[in-house]
A = this chain, B = another copy of it.
Amino acid sequence: MKLKARSYDVDLSEPSVILHDADCVQIGVRENDRVRIEGKDSWIALVDKSDSILKKGEVLIAEIQMEKYGIKDGEVLEVVYSPKPDSVNYIRRKMDGEKLSKDEIRAVVDDILESRLSKIEVSAWLTSLYINGMDLEEIAHFTNAMVDTGDRIQFQRQPVFDFHSVGGVPGNKITPIVVSIVAAAGLMLPKTSSRAISSACGTSDFVETFCNVELSAQQVRDISEEVGGVFAWGGSMNLAPVDDIVIKIEHPLGINPRAQMLASIMSKKLAIGATHLVVDIPTGRGTKVPTLEKAREYVSDFTTLGRMLGMRVECAVTYGDQPVGQAVGPNLEARECIRILEGEKHPSSVIEKACECAGMILEMGGIPNGVDRAREILESGAAHEKFMEIVVAQGGRPDLKSSDLKPGEFSYDIVSTKSGYVHGIDNKAIVSIAKACGAPTDKGAGLLIMKKRGQRVEKGDVLLTVHADTEAKAQRAKETALRLGPVHIEGMLIEKGV
């Protein structure tokens, strides 16, 4: 039917228009159905209904769409029913537990990218993936479809090594150390990282405290080929961009379906042209991978998927049931990371993990005794030298020192109320406290964990120190810490047998 366009000032997360209730009946559409709008251009929008903010005969179109399609206020447009895209049927098929074909998966991915699916439909897709899953053949198609939604980086220099942690453990600041060791050994590792999604501090959140992480694809290529590595933020390139839309729906549901997680990791690696990949799988209570059994499933998933996609993949199943090292939060993690590159021997958990992972990559690159070699490169200062080359190439200061990175000036110590042994540290509580400090936005915000699992604690000992950029946030973090009690202390006795 013919309707008169009226613009309204709203930024939409979905491309929808508002129609009058009575016109909806005439057109034969209901809320969340679709209409095709025909003016100079023809385009599809979701239907919202109202009988109060517009008159019969009008269609409300967001300003941004008016501009995009060259529609003038008051212009008369043909508005007709438009069927659902086919991808809605494929989502239904996944709900019914069926296996999808390559083309069906591609249709869903393309329609998500082009905003042709509503939030309701994408939510149903992710929920179905979470419950019914995909087999590896489907996930391989899914990965390729996601790669094709964005750009690919082509390197002259081959092979291309890569490293990824599936995350879920706080304080995991090993990436710049791994990249520096690998690059110092003469291999190329163009590493892209993310910012925090649900964590307190992603790799890019702490790396940007000492150099620029927003590199173009060209810069990533140039620096990697010349220096051997980068620590770039993946978000500034257009790699498998459909992921960014999906995350917005996953986040409120608190899910990350296995198929989506695997496809999203592997697609970014394919897009950057990786030929060899090591995946770190932190495992244990409070991580994304609670048991060794589950970890082994992921190992099998990643390596098989790698074969299907033409990439050599090895996995490192690592302890993740307590934070890695002492520091959580941007400046604090950067400081701990750089200190180790400068020669500091503590915390050993960070050094061990970085050298184990780097060692696996070296061996994939044909360098024998990888872990020993990684440790030599770190201890000799060669890794630090390479690190500084990368930092400078990414616009960091050539005289960067770990001591440049300052914790927030407002701090509180959390002390133990009893004596005993540290029985466990609750990852999720640590993340909540660091966020209460202001991480990852406030660069000084975060915390230092003074006692790790297995250590003896006396009543009154400092368990952790919170740092914040404002007094109010330090106070809030202290309260969060006292409420959550992230460090669990017990006697040695587990149970009394009588």
| Partner-contacting stretch, out of A212-220, A244-252, A294-302 | A244-252
| Partner-contacting stretch, out of A22-30, A368-376, A384-392 | A22-30
Does A119 sit within 8 A of B, measured CB to CB?
Answer: yes
Q: Which of A252-282 contact B (CB under 8 A)?
A: 252-255
Q: Which of B9, B10, B63, B119 interacts with A119 by CB under 8 Å?
A: B119
Does A441 sit within 8 A of B, measured CB to CB?
Answer: yes
- Alpha-carbon separation in the docked complex, A411 to B293 (Å): 68
Does A454 sit within 8 A of B, measured CB to CB?
Answer: no
Does A88 sit within 8 A of B, measured CB to CB?
Answer: yes
Contact with B along A1-42 (1 / 0, CB 8 A): 000000011110100001000000110101111000000000
Does A95 sit within 8 A of B, measured CB to CB?
Answer: yes
Q: Which of A96-140 contact B (CB under 8 A)?
A: 97, 118-124, 126-128, 130-132
Q: Taking the full assembly, how many copies of this chain does it contain?
A: 2
A84: B residues at CB distance < 8 A: 252, 254
Q: Which of B10, B33, B249 interacts with A120 by CB under 8 Å?
A: B249
A97–B131 touching, CB < 8 Å: yes
Chain B min CB distance to A303 (Å): 27
- Alpha-carbon separation in the docked complex, A128 to B91 (Å): 13
| Partner-contacting stretch, out of A48-56, A181-189, A414-422, A487-495 | A48-56
B92–A255 touching, CB < 8 Å: yes
Chain B min CB distance to A167 (Å): 17
A441–B26 touching, CB < 8 Å: yes
A50: B residues at CB distance < 8 A: 11
A118: B residues at CB distance < 8 A: 119, 252
B252–A11 touching, CB < 8 Å: no
Q: Which of B9, B88, B251 interacts with A8 by CB under 8 Å?
A: B9
- Alpha-carbon separation in the docked complex, A52 to B248 (Å): 19
B11–A8 touching, CB < 8 Å: no
Does A435 sit within 8 A of B, measured CB to CB?
Answer: yes
Chain B min CB distance to A487 (Å): 23
A30-B251, A84-B252, A97-B131 known; A441-B25 Cβ under 8 A = yes
A123–B131 touching, CB < 8 Å: no
A95–B131 touching, CB < 8 Å: yes
A91: B residues at CB distance < 8 A: 253
A251–B32 touching, CB < 8 Å: yes
A120: B residues at CB distance < 8 A: 119-120, 122-123, 249, 252-253
**Which A positions have Cβ atoms within 8 angstroms of B?**
8-11, 13, 18, 25-26, 28, 30-33, 48-50, 52-53, 60, 63-64, 84, 88, 91-92, 95, 97, 118-124, 126-128, 130-132, 248-249, 251-255, 435, 441
| 10 closest cross-chain pairs (CB), A and B | A123-B123, A11-B50, A127-B127, A32-B252, A120-B123, A124-B127, A131-B131, A11-B53, A123-B124, A119-B120
